[in-house]
Amino acid sequence: MSMNNIYYGSDLKTGQIWEGLRVKVLKVPWHSLVWFPGSIPKHNIIVRMTILNRLPARVRLLKMGLRIENDKYVLCGAEAEIMNHLFFDCGFTRELWGDILTLCGVTRRDIKEVIQIRLKGWAISRVDPRNDSLCVKWGIS
């Protein structure tokens, strides 16, 4: 459908305008991890920014020239607030992820492996043969 047909047609529809204007690209492998029914838009944006390494952590804000007191992570105050420390390396967050994984029935405590599997678009189940050995290793039935 050409743009002329969209703008000069008698029945102008928003969906037609959107389809005419948007750039169509293939979905990224982590699409379903971010965008799913019932998801909270604010959380979607934060997850997307994190995956794309665009989350404005304190170190990044300082590099942008914002005046903040220091670059330390507010929950522990020990290390600079960078993405790895924020989500994985801090003792507080490591314990939090462990508790979340336990609630989800995952006995394995390495959240990085879980996220890597999900970012590749694989299911964490024995149905997917790529993950069968991990399921055995982690105690997932």
Domain extents in the chain = 109-141
Using 50, 70 and 90 to split pLDDT, how confident is the model at 15? confident
**In Å, how far are 61, 78, 90, 94, 122 from 71, measured between CA atoms?**
9, 10, 14, 20, 35
Using 50, 70 and 90 to split pLDDT, how confident is the model at 123? low
Give the 3-state secondary structure of residue 124: coil
Q: Say whether pTM exceeds 0.75.
A: no
Using 50, 70 and 90 to split pLDDT, how confident is the model at 59? very high
